[in-house]
Amino acid sequence: MENFLLGGDLPIHRLGYGTMRLVGEGAWGEPRSRDEAHKVLHRALELGVNFLDTADAYGPNIAEELIAEALYPYAKNLIIATKGGITRQGPAKAAPCGRPEYLHQCVEMSLRRLKLERIDLYQLHRIDPKVPAEESLGKLADLQKQGKIRHIGLSEVTVEQIEHARTIVPIVSVQNKYNLTERKHEAVLDYCTQNNIAFIPWYPVAAGSLAKPGGALDSFAHERNLTLSQISLAWLLQHSLVMVPIPGTSSVAHLEENVSAQNINLSEDDMDILELIADTQSS
């Protein structure tokens, strides 16, 4: 599996695993089966995945607990990224909270749940418009100096926000919603590519009408004996060298399907056709 050097010092495989789907619907509540969730996490590592993305808001707290239950003590090459800075009010209901004292608590509690002394990648889940970035990111910078955070990342940001953040603290990753059919953050991806910042697309598998049986994307995948997920992930991996998709699933079979996308080599014609299909969809 191809590597990306996160922050210049952490080699991660470019196809990671996102843990949001391990918990209940809308990132709220317990999984259907903790045992099955543990199996998915174990299988991810067996398949060569060494980058797990999670957040204290998944459950809340439950996804981090599942990782520690299943995988602690951790393999030496395993990189766990987590996020903080939003509060949960229910299924699919959240609000940003970037107050420094809250973020300090978020980091301390994630360290405890994950059984870590230092978080390799800590991502600000959202920039809080009510709190100056200097205060939110300044607190994370302080915790970084204390050795509790190794690297810092952002989520759902613009190029301008990244540039501002980088005047406060080094930024090694950006996690924005992005997939074949939703590419409004292309300028952010270009910025990350130019600056060797990991771009971690959440919701990486294309959806909507293209995914329907008989749809253009479905037909493209069927002709090549591949699944929609595999095509979507392969396109992402080839679209930019800083791309680090983190497809999530609560199924071992679906996990295996996703991870196999790393072995798919789309031709230049395939890439052009896929983008044409997606552009037709969005027009």
Query: Which residues carry out catalysis?
Result: 58
Residue 73, preceding bond cis, omega within 30 degrees?
A: yes
State whether the Cα torsion 5-3-152-108 is positive or negative: negative
**Where does the chain show beta strands of DSSP type E?**
3-6, 10-13, 17-18, 51-53, 79-84, 86-90, 93-96, 119-124, 149-155, 173-175, 198-199
Q: Are 164 and 134 in contact (CB under 8 A)?
A: no
Count CB atoms within 10 A of the CB of residue 45.
17
Residue 265 has φ and ψ, to the nearest 5°, of: -115, 105
Q: With the C-alpha atoms ordered 224, 225, 231, 233, is the resulting torsion angle positive or negative? A: negative
3-state secondary structure (DSSP) of residue 214: coil
Quick check: helix, strand or coil at residue 47?
Answer: coil
Cβ atoms 103, 84 nearer than 8 A: yes
Cβ-based neighbour number of residue 166 at 10 Å:
14
